[in-house]
């Protein structure tokens, strides 16, 4: 059984950052998201070290996990943040990220969101279409300000990840083709109300090889050379996020190799930006869940949990597999058991794992649930969302209350 950092069995019980999972479940109920800010900050420090020579700005992609307590920790540590909605921008400001370190991406920014971001004086809009640029120019003119823009290029690179989280291929809705992005940059440079500051590319998520980043860096370098030949200044280049983590037993992405790939883009006058989401928080969080029933059929044995796809959507959405481990090691022969949720959907399954048959009430931890867990959760089947808690040196604290029936109406 493979455990992630921060987890260990001691005297037959599973601890996360020195706190017994049973205590967390008793205190806050299940299903429960439990996060370790320290593990997240360790990842942040590791990535910072990898990109140290480039003096890069690390902007946390908040969509991975927007719990305010975690955001505050990252803001305090000096991170920037990448947001994709007015809601995320409001949270970023509440968590006290410096506006000069806030980037705004997304293909469908509304005019109200643009005004909100212009008002907050964020660092950059990652612009993804000509229509968006026109709207931004108009809103900036109305407010009498200049909008800083970075043009998102779609370099048509296959990042070798799941098709649902591939964003840098020509068939994807994100960014502009290379010629279109160059034209957009030149167009922004001619505008009184736009200030082109750089280029941006994000290839997808859960990328496990540095190779796509090398290819993307080459494309970006060529575009920068072309723009600079025309006399434009490209003061920032954002290589996006997407740094993968091994959910199973696979290889880790060597992020120092990604930094090496980006090194060719870095000059004293040009800042490199990275937008890690999953990498910072995936392994810093687990989802605690109790067994409701064990159901044997002629075909298989189901372990029915109190957490379902509304709490953790990734397995149903992408077929992703999160390791599941018991709080207590039970005697008995391990057998293949299918762990499922209570939701009325066949896709509400977490997969088949070898495990001794548990009993109702037993506690399990679904690992690597810190990224795209709570942030993708819903009230589907009219289930209030779970609580979120923090564990710090063995101490547990509530970070967001469990929703109640009142939240359903
Ligand atoms: C523009 C952009 N940047 C960064 C990210 C973060 O990706 P990840 O969590 O895989 O690092 C995303 C994810 O969708 C994104 O769309």
Q: According to the model, what pLDDT value does residue 15 have?
A: 97
Task: For CA atoms 108, 114, 117, 123, give the dihedral sign.
Answer: positive
- Using DSSP bridges, classify how beta strands 57-61 and 271-274 pair: parallel, antiparallel or unpaired: parallel
Ligand 1 contacts CB of residue 242 (under 6 A) = yes
**pTM of the predicted model as reported, rounded to 2 decimal places:** 0.96
* Dihedral-angle region of residue 394 (phi above 0 means left; psi in -120 to 50 means alpha; beta otherwise): left
pLDDT of 20 strictly over 80: yes
Compute the distance from residue 61 Cα to the ligand 1 centre, in Å: 6
**How many other C-beta atoms are found inside a 10 Å radius of the C-beta of residue 127?**
29
Residue 394: band (very low, low, confident or very high) from pLDDT cuts 50, 70, 90: very high
Average pLDDT over residues 192-209: 95
Compute the distance from residue 40 Cα to the ligand 1 centre, in Å: 16
pLDDT of 387 strictly over 90: yes
> What tokens were used for 262?
């980006």
Average pLDDT along the chain: 95
Compute the distance from residue 203 Cα to the ligand 1 centre, in Å: 8
Residue 388 φ/ψ, nearest 5 degrees:
-125, 135
Ligand 1 contacts CB of residue 240 (under 6 A) = yes
Q: According to the model, what pLDDT value does residue 405 have?
A: 97
pLDDT of 391 strictly over 90: yes
> What tokens were used for 203?
């290839």
Q: Active-site residues: which are they?
A: 344
Compute the distance from residue 233 Cα to the ligand 1 centre, in Å: 26
Average pLDDT over residues 348-371: 97
List C-alpha distances in Å: 150 to 74, 231, 248: 23, 17, 36
pLDDT of 109 strictly over 70: yes
- Using DSSP bridges, classify how beta strands 335-340 and 7-10 pair: parallel, antiparallel or unpaired: unpaired
The pLDDT tens digits for 308-326 are 999 999 999 989 999 999 9
Ligand 1 contacts CB of residue 168 (under 6 A) = no
Ligand 1 contacts CB of residue 275 (under 6 A) = yes
Q: Atom 13 (ligand 1): residue with closest C-alpha?
A: 205
Ligand 1 contacts CB of residue 314 (under 6 A) = no
The minimum-distance atom of ligand 1 relative to the CA of 243 is 11
Q: Atom 16 (ligand 1): residue with closest C-alpha?
A: 202
Ligand 1 contacts CB of residue 175 (under 6 A) = no
Which residue out of 277, 368, 375 has the highest number of ligand 1 atoms within 8 Å of its CB and is therefore the one to mutate? 277
pLDDT of 50 strictly over 90: yes
Q: According to the model, what pLDDT value does residue 381 have?
A: 98
pLDDT of 160 strictly over 80: no
DSSP 49: H
102 vs 205 pLDDT, higher one: 102
Contact at 8 Å (CB) between 89 and 110?
no
> What tokens were used for 274?
């990275």
* Cα 53 off chain centre by: 24
Beta-strand ranges (E) seen in 56-117 are 57-61, 80-83, 102-104
Ligand 1 contacts CB of residue 64 (under 6 A) = yes
Q: According to the model, what pLDDT value does residue 230 have?
A: 95
pLDDT of 164 strictly over 80: no
Q: Which three-class secondary structure state does DSSP give residue 87? A: helix
* Residue position matching structure tokens 């305090």: 76
Q: Which three-class secondary structure state does DSSP give residue 341? A: coil
> What tokens were used for 140?
């900036």
User: Who contacts 41 (Cβ-Cβ below 8 Å, separation ≥6)?
Assistant: 73, 74, 77
**Angle at 202 (CA atoms; ends 137, 259), nearest 5 degrees:** 120
For 256-282, b/e burial (b = at least 16 CB within 10 A) is eebbbbbeebbeeebbbbbbbbbbbbb
**Whole-angstrom distance, CA of residue 209 vs CA of residue 227:** 29
pLDDT of 2 strictly over 80: no
Q: State percent of the chain over pLDDT 90.
A: 90
List C-alpha distances in Å: 345 to 297, 309, 316, 341: 18, 9, 9, 9
pLDDT of 118 strictly over 70: yes
Q: According to the model, what pLDDT value does residue 250 have?
A: 77
pLDDT of 166 strictly over 80: no
Q: According to the model, what pLDDT value does residue 277 have?
A: 98
Q: Which three-class secondary structure state does DSSP give residue 122? A: coil
The pLDDT tens digits for 232-288 are 999 999 999 999 999 877 788 999 999 999 999 999 999 999 999 999 999 999 999
DSSP 99: G
Residue 1: band (very low, low, confident or very high) from pLDDT cuts 50, 70, 90: low
């Amino acid at each position: 059984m493979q455990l992630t950092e921060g987890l260990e069995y001691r005297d037959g019980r599973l601890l996360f950052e020195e706190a017994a999972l049973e205590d967390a479940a008793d205190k806050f109920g299940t299903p429960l998201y439990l996060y370790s800010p320290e593990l997240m900050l360790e990842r942040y420090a590791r990535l910072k070290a990898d990109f140290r020579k480039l003096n890069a700005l690390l902007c946390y992609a908040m969509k991975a996990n927007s719990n305010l307590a975690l955001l505050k920790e990252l803001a305090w540590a000096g991170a920037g943040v990448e947001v994709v909605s007015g809601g995320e921008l409001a949270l970023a400001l509440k968590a006290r990220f410096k506006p000069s370190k806030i980037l705004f991406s997304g293909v469908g920014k509304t005019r109200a969101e643009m005004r909100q971001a212009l008002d907050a004086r964020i660092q950059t809009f990652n612009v993804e279409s000509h229509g968006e640029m026109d709207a931004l120019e108009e809103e900036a003119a109305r407010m009498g300000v200049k909008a800083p823009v970075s043009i998102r290029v779609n370099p048509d690179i296959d990042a070798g990840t799941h098709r649902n989280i591939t964003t840098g291929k020509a068939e994807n809705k994100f960014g502009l083709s290379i010629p279109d992005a160059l034209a957009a940059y030149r167009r922004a440079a001619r505008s009184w109300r736009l200030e082109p500051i750089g280029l941006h590319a994000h290839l997808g998520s859960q990328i496990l090889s540095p190779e796509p980043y090398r290819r993307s860096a080459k494309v970006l370098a060529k575009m920068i050379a072309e723009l600079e030949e025309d006399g434009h200044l490209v003061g920032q280049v954002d290589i996006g996020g997407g740094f993968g983590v091994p959910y199973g037993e696979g290889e880790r992405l060597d992020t120092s190799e990604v930094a090496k790939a980006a090194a060719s883009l870095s000059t004293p006058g040009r800042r490199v930006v990275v937008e890690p989401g999953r990498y910072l928080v995936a392994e810093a969080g687990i989802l605690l869940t109790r067994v409701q029933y064990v159901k044997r059929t002629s075909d298989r044995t189901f372990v029915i949990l109190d957490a379902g796809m509304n709490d953790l959507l990734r397995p149903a959405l992408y077929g992703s597999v999160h390791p599941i481990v018991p709080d207590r090691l039970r005697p008995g022969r391990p057998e293949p058991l299918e762990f499922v949720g209570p939701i009325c959907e066949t896709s509400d399954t977490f997969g088949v794992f070898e495990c001794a048959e548990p009993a109702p009430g037993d506690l399990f931890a679904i690992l690597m649930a810190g990224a795209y867990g709570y942030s993708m959760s819903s009230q589907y089947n009219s289930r209030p969302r779970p609580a979120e808690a923090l564990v710090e040196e063995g101490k547990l604290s509530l970070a967001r209350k469990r929703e109640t029936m009142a939240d359903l109406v």
